[in-house]
Amino acid sequence: MPEHFDTRELTLIFRGLSALENETNSEAFTSMIMGRPSTEEDLLNRETRLKEIAKLKGKVLEMEESLIAETAI
């Protein structure tokens, strides 16, 4: 990710990642409600996706904190 985002852009990126996270969790819930059990591969893929989303959200938060600290100086 480029390091020259402003806080508004970082907030939008974070919201997008949160939406993707919600969609991923919703897939599991929908499968359960529809009576389609998840396969081990489905579970692993979802877990991997959620871990990657969490990493990206962490990076976005770090960038935002850094930007706020730079602005405060």
- Per the structure, how many domains does the chain have? 1
Residue 34 main-chain phi, psi, to 5 deg: -80, 0
In a domain, 56, yes or no: yes
Q: CA-to-CA distance for 15 and 21, rounded, in angstroms?
A: 10
In a domain, 2, yes or no: no
Q: CA-to-CA distance for 7 and 70, rounded, in angstroms?
A: 12
In a domain, 1, yes or no: no
- pLDDT per 10-residue tile (average), the chain, 73 residues: 78 96 90 85 93 97 90 76
27: containing domain: 7-72
In a domain, 12, yes or no: yes
> How many Cβ atoms from other residues are within 10 Å of residue 67's Cβ?
17
In a domain, 55, yes or no: yes
Give Cα 46 to chain centroid, integer Å. 12
- Decide: pTM greater than 0.75: yes
What would the two tokens of residue 12 be? 């939008």
